[in-house]
C-alpha cells in the first residue's frame, strides 16, 4: 500500500499530512489516496487503482487531465523559462481574453490564487468606497484571508465571528454575514448599515456548501441594493468563471457586478487568480492608484500559458458546454432515480456542469438547509464509490464537476457504481 506509507511519511512532516485540509479525507473516515497521474477524465493512484475523477483539482480542469493543447503550451513555455518577474506577452494575451469574455471586466489584475483575488478585491472595494464593512453569505467560501474566513451562524444576521483560530475578533467584526438566498436579511442589513458597507461578496452559484443556485431575483436584488447604497457588488467567480458559461455566471444570469474574482480554470491547472471590473475602479490599483497589491510570481508565464491555452480550447469549441450540460443532466437524473428506488432521501442541486447530491429529503437553498444533510451517509457513499473506481469530493459540502473529457460511458459506469452503493447503503 504505497498511499498508506506515503501518508505516514507525510504526517510526520506536514500538518495532517496534507497541504490543504479537505484532502486528508478525514470527514469521510478514511486515509487519502495519493494520486500519481491523470489523463482525460481518469486519475490513477500510487497503488495503480484507476478512478473516474469528479473533483478535477476542485474545478480547474474543465478540459480534463493533461489536455494535449494545455500540455503543449506548458512545454513550449518551460523551455523558454519559467518566471522572469517582468512583463511578458502571455499575461497580456490572458488578460485580453478575460476582458473580451467576462462582460463586466474592463481591466484585470492577475494574481496567484483565488484567495489573493478575493482578498485584493475587498481591499480595492474599501479603497474605492472609503468604507469598512463587507457583507458575505453563510456557507460561501472566498479563500482563507482573515476577513473572509467567516461563515456566521444559523439564520440570524450576525456580525462575523471567526471560523478559525488566529483571526482577531476586530477583523471578523468588519464582516457581516447573511443567509444565502435571503433578500430580506440583506435589505435589513443595508437599512441598518448601508452607508458603511464597502461591498457585498457572493458566489453567484454557491459551490462551497455543496452546490446551491441563486433563487430567482436574489442576484438582481443584490445588484439593485448595492447600487442604491453606493456599495460594490463582487461576484466571486473562482468556480463559476468559464464553467457555468464562457462568460461566467454573470453572462449566464445577465447581471453585471462591479468587481469579479476568478481563479481555477483561468490557470488551466497551474496557480492563477485574477480580479477585475469597471475601469474607473480598477485604475485605483497600484501603480496607477493608491490601493497596493503585488506578487513575485503574478502573471507568471507558465501559468498564464496553461490558462490561455485552456480558454482558447473553450472559446473555439463552444459545444463543450452543451456536452457537459447533457452529461451532468444524465448523471443527475440517474442518481435521483437510483436513490428513489433505494428509498434513500436525496436532494440534488445542479447548475451546468456542477452538482451536489445532498443526503436529505428537504430542499437545500442555503447553509442551514445544507447542514441538514446526513454526512455519515455521504461518507459511506463516498467510500463505496471510491472502491468502485469513482472519485467524488471527499466531503458532502463540495461540488461534483464534469469536464469536456467525461464521456457517456463514464456517466454510465458511475451510475452502475451508484446503484450498487445504494443497494448497500439502503439496507
User: Which region, judged by CB under 6 A, interacts with ligand PLP, from 84-92, 95-103, 163-171, 234-242?
Assistant: 234-242
With CB under 6 A as the contact rule, the residue among 67, 109, 136, 142 that binds ligand PLP is: 142
Judging by beta carbons within 10 Å of its beta carbon (0-12, 13-18, 19+), is residue 191 exposed, middle or buried? Answer: exposed
Catalytic residue among 236, 258, 366, 410, which?
236
In this structure, are residues 321 and 240 in contact, taking their beta carbons and an 8 Å threshold? no
How far is it, in rounded angstroms, from Cα 221 to Cα 223?
Answer: 5
For the window 181-210, what string marks contact with ligand PLP as x by the rule CB under 6 A?
----------------------x---xx--
Gyration radius (Cα) of the chain, Å? 21
390, 382 Cβ separation under 8 angstroms: no
Cα–Cα distance measured from residue 307 to residue 156, given in angstroms and rounded to the nearest whole number: 40
Catalytic residue check, 264: yes
In this chain, which of 263, 277, 307, 393 binds ligand PLP, going by CB under 6 A?
263
Shortest distance in whole angstroms from residue 238 CB to ligand PLP? 4
Question: Footprint of ligand PLP on residues 81-120 (CB under 6 A)?
Answer: 113-115, 118
The reply on whether position 250 binds ligand PLP by CB under 6 A is: no
Place of cell 445577465: 254
The nearest distance, CB 206 to ligand PLP, in angstroms, is 8
Q: CB of residue 379 vs ligand PLP: minimum separation in angstroms? A: 21
253 annotated active-site: no
Q: Closer to ligand PLP at the Cβ: 391 or 421?
A: 391
Q: What is the grid cell recorded at 392?
A: 467524488
User: In sequence order, what are the residues at sequence separation of 6 or more whose Cβ sits closer than 8 angstroms to the Cβ of residue 369?
Assistant: 360, 362, 363
How far apart are the C-alpha atoms of 390 and 48, rounded to whole Å? 14
Three-state DSSP class for residue 178: strand
* Residues that contact ligand PLP, how many (by CB under 6 A): 16
Report which secondary-structure segment, H or E, holds 109.
Answer: strand 107-111
The H or E element spanning position 202 is: strand 197-202
- Residue 133 appears among annotated catalytic residues: no
- Nearest approach, Cβ of 83 to ligand PLP (angstroms)? 18
Note whether 141 binds ligand PLP by CB under 6 A. Answer: yes
Q: Which of 51, 54, 128, 141 is catalytic?
A: 141
**Footprint of ligand PLP (CB under 6 A):** 58, 113-115, 118, 141-143, 203, 207-208, 236, 238-239, 263, 273
Residues labelled as active-site residues = 141, 236, 264
Amino acid at each position: 500500500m504505497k498511499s498508506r506509507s506515503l501518508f505516514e511519511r507525510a504526517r510526520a512532516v506536514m500538518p495532517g499530512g496534507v497541504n490543504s485540509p479537505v484532502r486528508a479525507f478525514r470527514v469521510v473516515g478514511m486515509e487519502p489516496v495519493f494520486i500519481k497521474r491523470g489523463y482525460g477524465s481518469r486519475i490513477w493512484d500510487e497503488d495503480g487503482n484507476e478512478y473516474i475523477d469528479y473533483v478535477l483539482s476542485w474545478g480547474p480542469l474543465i478540459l480534463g487531465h493533461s489536455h494535449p493543447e494545455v500540455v503543449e503550451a506548458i512545454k513550449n513555455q518551460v523551455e523558454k523559462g519559467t518566471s522572469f518577474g517582468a512583463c511578458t506577452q502571455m499575461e497580456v494575451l490572458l488578460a485580453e481574453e478575460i476582458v473580451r469574455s467576462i462582460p463586466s471586466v474592463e481591466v484585470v489584475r492577475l494574481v496567484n490564487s483565488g484567495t489573493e483575488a478575493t482578498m485584493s478585491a475587498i481591499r480595492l472595494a474599501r479603497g474605492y468606497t472609503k468604507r469598512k464593512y463587507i457583507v458575505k453569505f453563510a456557507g460561501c467560501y472566498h479563500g482563507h484571508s482573515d476577513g473572509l474566513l467567516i461563515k456566521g451562524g444559523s439564520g440570524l444576521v450576525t456580525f462575523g465571528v471567526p471560523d478559525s483560530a488566529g483571526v482577531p475578533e476586530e477583523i471578523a467584526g468588519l464582516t457581516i454575514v447573511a443567509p444565502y438566498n435571503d433578500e430580506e436579511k440583506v435589505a435589513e442589513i443595508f437599512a441598518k448599515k448601508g452607508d458603511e458597507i464597502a461591498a457585498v461578496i457572493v458566489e453567484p452559484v454557491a459551490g462551497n456548501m455543496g452546490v446551491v443556485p441563486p433563487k430567482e431575483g436574489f442576484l438582481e436584488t443584490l445588484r439593485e441594493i448595492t447600487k442604491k447604497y453606493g456599495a460594490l457588488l463582487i461576484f466571486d467567480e473562482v468556480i463559476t468563471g468559464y464553467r457555468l458559461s464562457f462568460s461566467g455566471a454573470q453572462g449566464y444570469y445577465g447581471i453585471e457586478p462591479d468587481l469579479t474574482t476568478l481563479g481555477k480554470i483561468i490557470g488551466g491547472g497551474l496557480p492563477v487568480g485574477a480580479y477585475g471590473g469597471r475601469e474607473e475602479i480598477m485604475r485605483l490599483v497600484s501603480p496607477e492608484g493608491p490601493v497596493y497589491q503585488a506578487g513575485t510570481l503574478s502573471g507568471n508565464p507558465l501559468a498564464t500559458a496553461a490558462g490561455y491555452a485552456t480558454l482558447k480550447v473553450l472559446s473555439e469549441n463552444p459545444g463543450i458546454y452543451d456536452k457537459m450540460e447533457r452529461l451532468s443532466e444524465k448523471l443527475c437524473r440517474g442518481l435521483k432515480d437510483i436513490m428513489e428506488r433505494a428509498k434513500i432521501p436525496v436532494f440534488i442541486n445542479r447548475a451546468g456542469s456542477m452538482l451536489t447530491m445532498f443526503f436529505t429529503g428537504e430542499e437545500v437553498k442555503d447553509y442551514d438547509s445544507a447542514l441538514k444533510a446526513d454526512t455519515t451517509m455521504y461518507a459511506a457513499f463516498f467510500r463505496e464509490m471510491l472502491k468502485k473506481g469513482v472519485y467524488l469530493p471527499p466531503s458532502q459540502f463540495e461540488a461534483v464537476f464534469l469536464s469536456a473529457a467525461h464521456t457517456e460511458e463514464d456517466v454510465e459506469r458511475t451510475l452502475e457504481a451508484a446503484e450498487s452503493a445504494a443497494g448497500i447503503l439502503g439496507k
